[in-house]
C-alpha cells in the first residue's frame, strides 16, 4: 500500500526537487517526490558552479558526486569568434577562498545520482508519474497525479514544493504571473559531440565560451570522450536566416575561425535539440503552502551556468522556511512568502547583471580586459564562480565594474571590439 499523506510533496526529480527532498528528510519530514519522466533522462545544464558545492555538501551528496567520475572544472575560457582575444577565468584566483573547483556533469547521471540520494534518505519516489492538479486548502494541499500508464492517485500534504522546471503541466494560478522580460528572446541549439579538442591538464575541464556578434557557443566536456556544444542566438536573428536548427549551428560554426578549429573533427552523437524562450521569473514564488523552487520559480540565461546552483540553493531556502512554519503548526505568513521571493530574486539578480553585461558589446569588451585595474578581476572571478552574495570586497568591485561598463559607452576606457570583424560572413 502506498502512503497517501505526506509532510511534503515535491513535484519534479531534477536537482531542485532531489535537494529539496534531501533537506526535508534531514529535518525529519515525510516526503514524496513525483517525477513524470523515466530516469535516467537527458537534461541540458551540465556545467556546475563552485558556489553550488556547499549546497550539495549540505544535502549530504557531495561525497557521492566526488566519487562518480565527473569531469573536474577549474574555470572557464572566453574567446572572440576569431580567437583574437581570450580571457581565462581561473577559479583559484578569486577573492573568496574555497571556490577553486567543481564539476562538469552529464545530467542524466547527475540527476539520477541526486534522486537516488533523496531515496536513500527515505523519500518515496514515484517515477513516471505526472502531477496534474494541486489544490491548496487552509491546512493542507491535495495533489492529483497520474502514472504514464493511466492510474490516477490523490495524496495530501502539508506542503508542496514545485520543482517541475520550466514545464508547467498542471494549471496553476500562482504560475501565471511573470516579471516583465529583460532581454531579447533567445534560443539554444545543442548536442553532444565527440572529437572536440581540449586543453592539456586541468584546464581541459574548463567551460569554453565563444562570443559571436549575436550570440555565443558553449563547449562543456562531460566525460573523457564527449563534449556538450550549444549555440545561443536571438530568435529574431534565427528567423531572419530561416534555416533548420542543424543548418543554423553549422553556418554559425563555419563563420567563426575559433569554432572551426574546435569543431573541425567533431561528430554529433545525439540529435540536435532546441530550447527557446527559457528566460522568465515568476512574480510570486510562494503561496501559503505551495513554494516554487529552481526553474519552476525562474531562470534567466545559461551563460554563467547559474541554473543548477540557484535551483538547489532556492530548494534549500524553501525547505528551511517551511520547516519553521511546520514546527509552529501553521502555513506561511505573508511576510515569509514575500521574503522568500525577495531573497531568491536578489540572489538571481547578480547573475542577471552579469548576463546583461555579457550581451552588451561595450560591457563585454570591459569583461574581456586581460588585467582590469583595482583588482576587479579577483572579485569578478568569485562572482563567476557563483558567489552571488555580495560581501563588501565583491560589492565594491562589482559596482566599479558596472560603472566602467556604463562609461565605456561614451568614453572607450578599454579598446572597443569590432564584433562583426571577428566572423566570416559567407
Minimal CA–CA distance to 385: which of 136, 170, 76?
76
Which region, judged by CB under 6 A, interacts with ligand FAD, from 28-36, 78-86, 333-341, 369-377? 28-36
| Residue from 50, 75, 94, 165 in contact with ligand FAD (CB under 6 A) | 165
Which of residues 274 and 414 has its CB atom nearest to ligand FAD in the complex?
A: 274
Minimal CA–CA distance to 124: which of 8, 253, 290, 275?
8
153 is a site residue for ligand FAD (CB under 6 A):
no
14 is a site residue for ligand FAD (CB under 6 A):
yes
152 is a site residue for ligand FAD (CB under 6 A):
no
Q: At what angle do helices 307-327 and 15-26 cross, to 10 degrees?
A: 30
Tell me the closest approach of the beta carbon of residue 377 to ligand FAD, in angstroms: 22
Distance CA 244, CA 232 (A): 14
Q: Distance between alpha carbon 233 and the CA centroid of its chain, in Å?
A: 18
| Residue from 103, 299, 300, 340 in contact with ligand FAD (CB under 6 A) | 299
Minimal CA–CA distance to 123: which of 8, 289, 290?
8
Distances 182 to 252, 314, 402 between C-alpha atoms, Å: 25, 21, 17
Which region, judged by CB under 6 A, interacts with ligand FAD, from 194-202, 296-304, 348-356, 391-399? 296-304
Distance CA 258, CA 82 (A): 5
The secondary element (H helix, E strand) that includes residue 189 is strand 186-194
| Residue from 6, 10, 17, 157 in contact with ligand FAD (CB under 6 A) | 17
381 is a site residue for ligand FAD (CB under 6 A):
no
What sign for the dihedral angle of Cα 167, 151, 126, 42? negative
| Residue from 75, 213, 287, 294 in contact with ligand FAD (CB under 6 A) | 294
11 is a site residue for ligand FAD (CB under 6 A):
yes
Which region, judged by CB under 6 A, interacts with ligand FAD, from 12-20, 365-373, 378-386, 387-395? 12-20
Distance CA 173, CA 93 (A): 45
Residue 412's contacts (CB-CB under 8 Å, 6 or more residues apart) are: none
Burial of 298 (0-12, 13-18, 19+ CB in 10 A): buried
Minimal CA–CA distance to 59: which of 30, 100, 20, 107?
20
Burial of 59 (0-12, 13-18, 19+ CB in 10 A): buried
Residue labelled with grid coordinates 500508464: 149
Which of residues 309 and 364 has its CB atom nearest to ligand FAD in the complex?
A: 309
Tell me the closest approach of the beta carbon of residue 196 to ligand FAD, in angstroms: 16
Residue 405's contacts (CB-CB under 8 Å, 6 or more residues apart) are: 357, 360, 362, 363, 366, 367
Which of residues 16 and 384 has its CB atom nearest to ligand FAD in the complex?
A: 16
Tell me the closest approach of the beta carbon of residue 232 to ligand FAD, in angstroms: 7
46 is a site residue for ligand FAD (CB under 6 A):
yes
Which of residues 352 and 376 has its CB atom nearest to ligand FAD in the complex?
A: 352
The binding track of 184-223 with respect to ligand FAD, each residue x by CB under 6 A or -, is: ----x-----------------------------------
Which region, judged by CB under 6 A, interacts with ligand FAD, from 30-38, 146-154, 240-248, 322-330? 30-38
Per CB under 6 A, contacts with ligand FAD among 103-132 are 130-131
Residues that bind ligand FAD (CB under 6 A): 11-17, 34-37, 43-47, 130-131, 163-165, 167, 169-170, 188, 230, 275, 278, 294-296, 299, 302, 305, 307-309, 311
Amino acid at each position: 500500500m502506498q502512503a497517501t499523506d505526506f509532510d511534503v510533496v515535491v513535484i519534479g526529480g531534477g536537482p531542485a526537487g532531489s535537494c529539496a527532498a534531501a533537506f526535508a528528510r534531514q529535518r525529519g519530514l515525510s516526503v514524496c517526490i513525483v517525477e513524470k519522466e523515466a530516469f535516467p533522462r537527458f537534461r541540458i545544464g551540465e556545467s556546475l558552479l563552485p558556489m553550488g558545492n556547499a549546497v550539495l555538501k549540505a544535502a549530504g551528496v557531495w561525497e557521492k558526486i566526488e566519487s562518480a567520475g565527473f569531469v573536474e572544472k577549474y574555470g572557464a575560457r572566453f574567446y572572440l569568434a576569431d580567437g583574437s582575444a581570450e580571457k581565462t577565468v581561473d577559479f583559484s584566483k578569486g577573492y573568496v577562498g574555497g571556490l577553486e573547483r567543481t564539476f562538469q556533469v552529464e545530467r542524466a547521471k547527475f540527476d539520477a545520482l541526486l534522486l537516488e540520494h533523496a531515496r536513500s534518505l527515505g523519500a518515496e519516489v514515484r517515477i513516471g508519474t505526472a502531477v496534474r492538479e494541486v489544490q491548496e486548502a487552509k491546512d493542507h494541499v491535495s495533489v492529483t497525479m497520474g502514472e504514464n500508464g493511466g492510474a490516477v492517485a490523490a495524496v495530501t500534504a502539508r506542503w508542496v514544493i514545485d520543482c517541475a522546471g520550466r514545464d508547467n503541466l498542471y494549471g496553476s494560478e500562482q504560475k501565471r504571473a511573470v516579471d516583465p522580460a529583460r532581454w531579447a528572446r533567445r534560443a539554444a541549439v545543442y548536442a553532444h559531440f565527440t572529437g572536440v579538442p581540449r586543453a592539456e591538464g586541468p584546464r581541459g575541464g574548463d567551460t569554453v565560451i565563444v562570443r559571436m556578434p549575436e550570440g555565443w557557443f558553449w563547449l562543456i566536456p562531460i566525460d573523457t570522450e564527449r563534449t556538450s556544444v550549444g549555440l545561443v542566438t536571438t530568435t529574431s536573428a534565427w528567423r531572419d536566416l530561416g534555416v533548420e536548427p542543424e543548418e543554423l549551428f553549422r553556418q554559425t560554426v563555419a563563420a567563426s575561425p575559433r569554432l572551426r578549429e574546435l569543431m573541425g573533427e567533431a561528430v554529433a552523437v545525439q540529435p540536435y535539440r532546441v530550447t527557446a524562450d527559457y528566460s522568465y521569473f515568476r512574480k510570486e514564488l510562494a503561496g501559503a503552502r505551495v513554494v516554487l523552487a529552481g526553474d519552476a520559480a525562474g531562470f534567466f540565461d545559461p551563460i554563467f551556468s547559474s541554473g543548477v546552483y540557484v535551483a538547489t540553493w532556492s530548494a534549500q531556502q524553501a525547505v528551511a522556511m517551511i520547516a519553521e512554519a511546520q514546527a509552529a503548526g501553521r502555513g506561511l505568513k505573508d511576510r515569509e512568502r514575500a521574503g522568500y521571493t525577495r531573497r531568491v530574486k536578489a540572489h538571481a539578480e547578480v547573475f542577471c547583471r552579469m548576463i546583461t553585461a555579457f550581451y552588451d558589446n561595450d560591457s563585454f569588451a570591459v569583461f574581456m580586459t586581460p588585467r582590469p585595474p583595482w583588482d576587479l578581476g579577483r572579485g569578478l572571478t568569485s562572482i563567476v564562480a557563483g558567489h552571488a552574495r555580495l560581501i563588501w570586497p565583491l560589492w565594491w568591485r562589482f559596482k566599479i565594474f558596472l560603472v566602467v561598463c556604463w562609461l565605456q559607452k561614451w568614453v572607450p576606457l578599454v579598446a572597443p571590439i569590432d564584433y562583426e570583424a571577428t566572423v566570416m560572413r559567407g
